[in-house]
Amino acid sequence: MKIAVVFDTPHAGWRHDDFQREMVAQGDEPEAEYEVARALATHGHEVQMIGVREDLRVLLDALDAFKPDLAFNCAEGFRGDCGLDYVLATALEAARVLYTGSPPAALLVTRDKALSKKVLAWHDLRVPGFVSFHNGIPFRAPEGLVYPLIVKPVAEDASAGIARASVVRDERELADRVAFIHATFAQPAIAEEFIEGRELYVGVIGNGETLEVLPVVEMVFDKEKNPPEERIATKHAKWHDGYRERRGIRNQFARPIAQSAREEIERLCRTAAQALHLRDYARFDLRLTDDQEVWLIEANANPYISWGHDMANAAEKRGLDYAAFINRIAQEALSRRAVIA
Same domain, 95 and 136: no
> How does 173-201 read in b/e, with b if 16+ C-beta sit within 10 Å?
bbbebbebbbeebebbbbbbbbbebbbbb
Number of structural domains (the chain) is 3
Same domain, 299 and 205: yes
CATH number at residue 323: 3.30.470.20
The span from the CA of 273 to the CA of 204, in Å, is: 9
User: So what's the pLDDT on residue 142?
Assistant: 95
CA distances from 121 to 118, 178, 272, 325 (A): 5, 23, 10, 31
User: CB-based burial of residue 244 (10 Å sphere; 0-12 exposed, 13-18 middle, 19+ buried)?
Assistant: middle
pLDDT tens track of the chain, all 341 residues? 999 999 999 999 999 999 999 999 999 889 999 999 999 999 999 999 999 999 999 999 999 999 999 999 999 999 999 999 999 999 999 999 999 999 999 999 999 999 999 999 999 999 999 999 999 999 999 999 999 999 999 999 889 999 999 999 999 999 999 999 999 999 999 999 999 999 999 999 999 988 999 999 999 999 999 998 899 999 999 999 999 999 999 999 999 999 999 999 999 999 999 999 999 999 999 999 999 999 999 999 999 999 999 999 999 999 999 999 999 999 999 998 865 44
The span from the CA of 151 to the CA of 80, in Å, is: 24
DSSP bridge pairs for 3: 47, 70
Residue 66 contacts residue 56 (beta carbons within 8 Å): no
Q: Is the peptide bond before 148 cis (omega within 30 degrees of 0)?
A: yes
Going by their DSSP bridges, the two strands 198-205 and 281-288 should be labelled as: antiparallel
Select from 99, 118, 152 the last residue of a domain. 99
- Which uninterrupted H or E stretch holds 234? none
**N residues, the chain:** 341
User: So what's the pLDDT on residue 296?
Assistant: 98
The span from the CA of 114 to the CA of 142, in Å, is: 15
Same domain, 139 and 162: yes
User: So what's the pLDDT on residue 341?
Assistant: 43
In a domain? residue 72: yes
3 state SS of 233: coil
The string of DSSP codes covering 123-175 is TT-----EEEE-TTS-----SS--S-EEEEETT--TTTT--GGGEE-SHHHHH
CB atoms inside a 10 Å sphere around CB 111: 22
Q: Which amino acid is at 197?
A: G
Residue 141 contacts residue 174 (beta carbons within 8 Å): yes
In a domain? residue 104: no
Q: Is the peptide bond before 303 cis (omega within 30 degrees of 0)?
A: no
The DSSP letter of residue 28 is T
Domain that holds residue 287: 197-216+254-340
Same domain, 175 and 209: no
In a domain? residue 174: yes
> What's the distance, CA 259 to chain centroid?
26
The span from the CA of 70 to the CA of 77, in Å, is: 20
Full-model pTM: 0.95
In a domain? residue 120: no
Nearest to 252 by CA among 303, 201, 216, 218: 218
In a domain? residue 221: no
User: So what's the pLDDT on residue 158?
Assistant: 82
In a domain? residue 227: no
In a domain? residue 122: no
CB atoms inside a 10 Å sphere around CB 150: 20
In a domain? residue 67: yes
φ, ψ for residue 319, nearest 5 deg: 110, 5
The span from the CA of 36 to the CA of 197, in Å, is: 34
Sign of CA dihedral 181, 182, 185, 190: positive
- Which uninterrupted H or E stretch holds 225? none
